[in-house]
Amino acid sequence: MEASIAETPEEGRTRDEAERSRTLPSMALIGRSFQFSSSFNDRHLHKHCRWLWLSVALVVLGFYYFGVKSYQVLSGVNTDNFPIKQRGEEHVPRRKASRVLEQVYHSADVFRRDFKEMEEKFKVYVYPDGDPETYYQTPRKLTGKYSSEGYFFQNLRESRFVTNDSAAADLFFLPISCHKMRGKGISYENMADIVMAYVESLIIKYPYWNRTLGADHFFVTCHDVGVRATAKVANLVKNSIRVVCSPSYNGSFIPHKDVALPQVLQPFPLPAGGDDISQRTVLGFWAGHRNSKVRVNLADAWQHDPVLFITNNRISRAIGEYVYQKQFYRSKFCVCPAGSQVNSARIAESIHYGCVPVVMADFYDLPFNDVLNWRKFSLVLRERDYGILKKVLQGVTRKEYRILHAGVRQVRRHFEWHSPPVKYDAFHMVMYELWLRRFTIRY
Ligand SMILES: *[C@@H]1O[C@H](CO)[C@@H](O)[C@H](O)[C@H]1NC(C)=O
Ligand SMILES: *[C@@H]1O[C@H](CO)[C@@H](O)[C@H](O)[C@H]1NC(C)=O
Ligand SMILES: *[C@@H]1O[C@H](CO)[C@@H](O)[C@H](O)[C@H]1NC(C)=O
């Protein structure tokens, strides 16, 4: 199955179809006007033909002109891979600035209204059981690679969403932390056992699980173990909502049921990027470990390129303070290739520092994908497109870049955690994703 979030040939096909369907009515019109004029007598026909041919020529010229223009807009390379344009969409820069910004959402109005309703009504029951000194309830810490998990646990308790009234609850939270387990040196295999024992104890003690076989329950982890932690409870895999940082749907992650948790490495050591496009002189940047095929390919293809800054060595701290982070400010695009997992903290870092992310991770269910239109603030390429990276980046016009950059700044708040949580931050976005999945039938 080749259904990655990256542009697929299918998308290209739909665009072709859209192009064709836009062309067809006009062709039909020409056909009709020809039929019409052919019903005239010869003398008229002769006169009409001149006009007819003139209009045909104009129409053809027009098609050619706009066709070429939109082709240029879609970058000089394989246009199927260029993600700004959506099917049937107009050329973006013609729209008013405010409209353009709204476009980072699939539907800003629906989101705003539904979000408000969520804030008023959404209730979550947190199971009280489990020794808080071991794996339950409290996060280990709010820093580091898995801080998203810690923030979620803490934010939920700080929020107005928690209820101890099970009858009022929309969803039930299984508060068991893989990050904490890992901190205690527990192996991946044992994590799945501990999760199983915990869930089974709740199934016996409380009546809630059996009403839906777990469909109104959710589980959260940012640890690399991800969905594998749930592997030993069949209904947890099939029915419950699993919120994980490594949402690869080439595995048992189920998009639309499960939720992608953004991996955010907080706190950010340097402030957010601003209106600073003129300072961004490096076309594309990536520095990191060579721990996946796409990273090896990227490094091999581009590490000596004079325009791109691609290196498979992490920038060492010895060179100077925050040299790595400062490079995000200087770059227009920051490449975020999959590593050992599809996800990468680089995406949130790029967004924070105002660098347009270029996601190269097949099978990645991008965070908040059903609310945010990733094409308006990132480029999404297939892993095998590493060879055309430079062409794609060079093909983005200034106007398009300004829109992507403005989009990055607009979505930034959705990729930040706070304690206590604030409206529209990463916590609230995850809650919103859960809210969208709250409909279950209880028996
Ligand atoms: C919920 O908590 C409040 C205060 O802690 C308590 O008064 C109330 O009885 C609890 N309700 C239930 C259903 O446990
Ligand atoms: C839920 O169902 C399981 C399996 O049928 C059963 O063992 C368990 O006791 C039930 N839980 C409750 C609280 O009734
Ligand atoms: C998808 O998963 C299968 C089985 O786990 C694996 O063999 C394959 O390499 C994966 N494909 C990608 C592109 O990750």
Domain positions in the chain are 30-75, 122-265+423-436, 277-415
Residue 287's nearest CA partner among 322, 257, 260, 249 is 322
**What integer pLDDT is reported at residue 423 of this predicted model?**
97
CA of 211 to the centre of ligand 1 (A): 22
Q: Is 340 in the pocket of ligand 3 (CB under 6 A)?
A: no
**What integer pLDDT is reported at residue 141 of this predicted model?**
76
**What is the number of the ligand 1 atom nearest to the C-alpha of 163?**
1
Nearest C-alpha to atom 6 of ligand 1 is from which residue?
164
Q: Is 362 in the pocket of ligand 3 (CB under 6 A)?
A: yes
Contact status, residue 282 vs residue 169, Cβ threshold 8 Å: no
DSSP conformation letters of 96-132:
-HHHHHHTTBS-HHHHHHHHHHHHHH--EEEP--S-T
Residues flanking ligand 2, CB < 6 Å: 203-204, 207, 210
Gap between the Cα atoms of 19 and 23, Å rounded: 6
Nearest C-alpha to atom 1 of ligand 3 is from which residue?
250
Gap between the Cα atoms of 63 and 26, Å rounded: 10
Q: For the residues 204-230, what does the mean pLDDT come to?
A: 92
Q: How many CB atoms lie within 10 A of CB 372?
A: 22
The pLDDT of residue 226 is above 90? no
**What is the number of the ligand 2 atom nearest to the C-alpha of 205?**
13
The pLDDT of residue 241 is above 50? yes
Nearest C-alpha to atom 9 of ligand 2 is from which residue?
204
Q: Rounded to the nearest 10 degrees, what angle do helices 9-38 and 42-73 cross at?
A: 160
Name, in order, each residue with C-beta under 8 angstroms of 178's C-beta and a sequence gap of 6 or more.
Answer: 149, 191, 221, 222, 223, 225, 229
Tokens coding 240: 């419950």
Write down the residue that tokens 């293809």 correspond to: 301
Contact status, residue 202 vs residue 209, Cβ threshold 8 Å: yes
Q: Is 166 in the pocket of ligand 1 (CB under 6 A)?
A: no
Mean pLDDT taken over the chain: 81
- Amino acid found at 294: V
**What integer pLDDT is reported at residue 162 of this predicted model?**
97
* 275 phi/psi in degrees, rounded to 5: -85, 80
Nearest C-alpha to atom 8 of ligand 3 is from which residue?
250
Gap between the Cα atoms of 85 and 78, Å rounded: 13
Name, in order, each residue with C-beta under 8 angstroms of 118's C-beta and a sequence gap of 6 or more.
Answer: 431, 432, 435
Nearest C-alpha to atom 14 of ligand 1 is from which residue?
164
**What integer pLDDT is reported at residue 129 of this predicted model?**
80
Nearest C-alpha to atom 6 of ligand 2 is from which residue?
204
Q: For the residues 43-59, what does the mean pLDDT come to?
A: 54
Pocket test for ligand 2, best of 200, 204, 233, 239 (most atoms within 8 A of CB): 204
Q: For the residues 239-252, what does the mean pLDDT come to?
A: 92
Highest mean pLDDT: which of 69-78, 140-149, 173-182?
A: 173-182
The pLDDT of residue 189 is above 50? yes
Nearest C-alpha to atom 6 of ligand 3 is from which residue?
250
Nearest C-alpha to atom 5 of ligand 2 is from which residue?
210
Pocket test for ligand 2, best of 199, 202, 203, 443 (most atoms within 8 A of CB): 203
- Secondary-structure class of domain 277-415 per CATH: alpha beta
pLDDT tens-digit map of 72-91: 333 333 333 334 433 333 33
57 falls in which pLDDT band (50, 70, 90)?
A: low
Q: Is 313 in the pocket of ligand 3 (CB under 6 A)?
A: no
Q: Is 164 in the pocket of ligand 1 (CB under 6 A)?
A: yes
Q: For the residues 6-23, what does the mean pLDDT come to?
A: 35
Q: For the residues 368-382, what does the mean pLDDT come to?
A: 96
Geometric angle at alpha carbon 246, from 244 and 248, rounded to 5° = 115
